[in-house]
Copies of this chain bind each other. A is one copy, B any other.
């Protein structure tokens, strides 16, 4: 497996438009900058369409969604679709409230997503499986994660990336498992949200028919940056981890990825 997209991001410095929640906006922007991309945060419906003309990727994250944000997402998403700008959806806590469920349904009806990224609870909700949801956390349930990921990919004709102890990525046909990562990702806010933005950055420099490969590469790279960010700290040092994750995204080398990658077929 080749890992060439990280260098492409650093060369192209793609602008990624993020309509994301205010909790993680700063960390997402710093993460994209560390990776080599260029973040633009705006949820103002009056400029959503204009921004897609120079945006190379669009992230829709519903973490602190309100009515006005939803309008902006639909407007931006439609414009992105028309201009072939890849769109990543992060349906944060979609199972937590009826409002979020309806909002995500309306997004999925109006915008063609390239990737849906979520934790087990969120993907289970989209798969309409039984799941004990707890707020925006993954929650608990018994399920065949790989089958669930694949089912949602088939349902929405896109790539689905399910975060967990093992990350699953499916394009509806295949399912790939990514074994890299660290539990510290779950100890800081926005690690998953940033991954959504990272997906958009990797898609932005990939050929359209290489989107599945780009998603695997993005997730593997990000998880390995997380592994490297745990070096020299205790497993509880979430504050320092958040800082070092940015450092490691910036210093990550393709050889780090190729030598550490643990990717397997389902």
Q: What residues of chain A have their CB less than 8 Å away from a CB belonging to chain B?
A: 15, 17, 21-27, 29-30, 33-34, 38-44, 46-47, 50-51, 54-55, 63-68, 93, 96-100, 133-137, 187-190, 234, 236-240, 242-247, 250-251
Q: B97–A51 contact, CB under 8 A?
A: yes
A67 to B39 CA separation, bound complex (whole angstroms)? 22
Question: Which residues of B are found within 8 Å of A17, using beta-carbon distances?
Answer: 135
A17 to B26 CA separation, bound complex (whole angstroms)? 20
Closest partner residue, chain B, to A137 (CB atom): B38
Q: B66–A43 contact, CB under 8 A?
A: yes
Question: Which residues of B are found within 8 Å of A38, using beta-carbon distances?
Answer: 134-135, 137
A187 to B37 CA separation, bound complex (whole angstroms)? 10
A33 to B44 CA separation, bound complex (whole angstroms)? 30
Question: Which residues of B are found within 8 Å of A187, using beta-carbon distances?
Answer: 33-34, 250
A67 to B236 CA separation, bound complex (whole angstroms)? 39
Looking at the complex, which one of B22, B51, B97, B137 makes contact with A25 (CB distance below 8 Å)? B22
How many chain copies? 3
Q: A137–B15 contact, CB under 8 A?
A: yes
Question: Which residues of B are found within 8 Å of A242, using beta-carbon distances?
Answer: 30, 239, 243, 246
Q: Which 10 A-B pairs have the closest CB atoms?
A: A239-B246, A29-B189, A47-B97, A236-B250, A239-B243, A50-B97, A47-B99, A40-B135, A239-B247, A46-B99
Q: Do A251 and B239 contact each other (CB < 8 Å), given the known contacts A43-B66, A97-B50, A99-B44? A: no
Sample 24 A-B pairs with CB under 8 A, ordered by A number: A15-B135, A17-B135, A21-B41, A22-B22, A23-B25, A23-B29, A23-B41, A30-B188, A34-B187, A34-B236, A43-B64, A44-B65, A51-B96, A51-B97, A54-B133, A54-B135, A187-B250, A234-B247, A237-B247, A237-B250, A237-B251, A238-B247, A242-B246, A243-B243
A29 to B192 CA separation, bound complex (whole angstroms)? 14
Closest partner residue, chain B, to A55 (CB atom): B135
